[in-house]
A and B are shown apart, each in its own frame.
Chain A
């Protein structure tokens, strides 16, 4: 049996051939779509409902979404379909349950602040002095809070000077809290060793940039 061809579905001229091509598409790619749905919906019923939702959206308006695939030889259809299916599953989730747990638009300010302080500790003062300053009572140590704000601004400016890949690396490590192994997988690097080696070189650059700005440690 020849492999399924997307063109057969998109170029079908009559109802019968379109329905046959759609049935073949469903047969060929249902496993993938269910796999994606299960990643978001741990319960079977939720996953199957999401799967049905994805199929409905892919087929509507004469397969409008499927026609968005650029068959330029650079992309694998299955990867593109995984991206689209996951986004549709997220739409379904939000439609059914509201805001997704862990949605960045939800209140994560506390965790972000802690992540920024961890980064500042490593960039400015590995002994954790920045965190100590930050934990000082704001009413009794206004100077400490001012210093933390100054350091935060300096670190932010230094981070902005890094390459996009280094900035992404820091975001994955400190904002998203990923482990070295997880970061290696996300960025497509061979081992966590590559991640930590790059992190070390990034911090060397950060510290150098901070020294250029006159920041040698947590003290003014």
Chain B
């Protein structure tokens, strides 16, 4: 038996108001609001179609706030490089905070992490064959990439809409001045800003260049 549900105040066109739909999509609607919108969605084709489109357009909400990402981002790259790590650091793209307004049997979705793809950590590569590849973070996204040398200085950086960049050999020009062919260690990472303002950053990846 269905419980009586008060109808939400619809807009002039008889649909879910933008504010209510936005809260529904963001998962910030109260239990009552969510139930009322759900009740309307079951009867309204246009609002259901809109919700389907919005799920496609709006990035999934994350657990850690932008403030945390900003704090991490504000830490100097040199500080990150001097950290000793074992294995992969936790991704800076966050997990979804459980929405208390949802049914108890629903497991919140975990965002796909923003990860580097290639080269793998500590790969040894010739200076004239360094191509950095990372996983895409969505459409219409601009990525900022940085390669640091062992002293923490920026060896190469830039922006791109692609998910890869080929680093020119000149970026590793210190290699040319070395008498021996010992590989030097670099660190690279990629940062991006999503359409909803959230920042995402890959883990720093070590790269050995000869």
Residues in chain A within 8 A of chain B (CB atoms): 3, 31-32, 34-36, 38-39, 68-70, 74-76, 78-80, 82-84, 86-87, 102, 104, 160-165, 167-168, 171-172, 175-176, 178, 182, 184-186, 188-191, 194, 198
Give the distance in Å from the alpha carbon of A34 to the alpha carbon of B28 in the complex.
Answer: 25
Cβ of B117 within 8 Å of any chain A Cβ, yes or no, is no
Q: Is the CB of B45 within 8 A of A175?
A: yes
- The chain B residue with its CB closest to the CB of A4 is B197
Give the distance in Å from the alpha carbon of A80 to the alpha carbon of B22 in the complex.
Answer: 5
Those of B52-83 within 8 Å (CB) of chain A = 52-58, 61
Q: Closest 8 CB pairs between A and B? A: A104-B45, A167-B42, A164-B39, A190-B107, A80-B22, A78-B196, A168-B42, A164-B38
- The chain A residue with its CB closest to the CB of B197 is A78
Give the distance in Å from the alpha carbon of A68 to the alpha carbon of B20 in the complex.
Answer: 12
Contact of B28 among A69, A74, A165, A178 (CB under 8 A): A74
Q: Is the CB of A165 within 8 A of B54?
A: no
Q: Is the CB of B19 within 8 A of A186?
A: no
Give the distance in Å from the alpha carbon of A3 to the alpha carbon of B67 in the complex.
Answer: 13
A35 touching B55 in the complex, CB below 8 Å, given contacts A79-B22, A163-B2, A171-B42:
no
Apart from A35-B57, A76-B196, A83-B22, 18 more pairs, CB < 8 Å: A32-B196, A35-B140, A68-B19, A70-B19, A74-B26, A75-B22, A79-B25, A83-B21, A164-B35, A164-B41, A164-B42, A165-B103, A167-B42, A168-B42, A176-B49, A186-B51, A189-B106, A194-B107
Give the distance in Å from the alpha carbon of A104 to the alpha carbon of B99 in the complex.
Answer: 31
Which of A68, A78, A172, A188 gathers most chain B CB within 10 Å?
A188
Q: Helix, strand, loop or mixed for chain A's interface?
A: helix
Give the distance in Å from the alpha carbon of A154 to the alpha carbon of B109 in the complex.
Answer: 36
- Residue pairs across A and B with Cβ atoms less than 8 A apart, 24 shown, are A32-B195, A35-B57, A68-B19, A74-B23, A74-B26, A74-B29, A75-B22, A75-B28, A76-B197, A78-B197, A79-B196, A82-B57, A83-B18, A83-B25, A86-B50, A86-B54, A160-B2, A164-B35, A168-B48, A171-B41, A172-B48, A176-B45, A190-B106, A191-B107
In which size bucket is the chain B interface? 35 or more
Q: Is the CB of B45 within 8 A of A188?
A: no
Those of B156-178 within 8 Å (CB) of chain A = none
> What chain B residues lie within 8 Å of A87 (beta carbons)?
18, 50
Q: Is the CB of B52 within 8 A of A178?
A: yes
Give the distance in Å from the alpha carbon of A36 to the alpha carbon of B105 in the complex.
Answer: 32
- The chain B residue with its CB closest to the CB of A190 is B107
> What chain B residues lie within 8 Å of A39 (beta carbons)?
53, 56-57
Q: Is the CB of A35 within 8 A of B108?
A: no
Give the distance in Å from the alpha carbon of A83 to the alpha carbon of B18 in the complex.
Answer: 6
> What chain A residues lie within 8 Å of B48 (beta carbons)?
168, 171-172, 176, 186
Q: Is the CB of B195 within 8 A of A78?
A: yes
Q: Is the CB of B139 within 8 A of A35?
A: yes
A86 touching B197 in the complex, CB below 8 Å, given contacts A104-B46, A162-B2, A164-B2:
no
Q: Is the CB of A86 within 8 A of B57?
A: yes
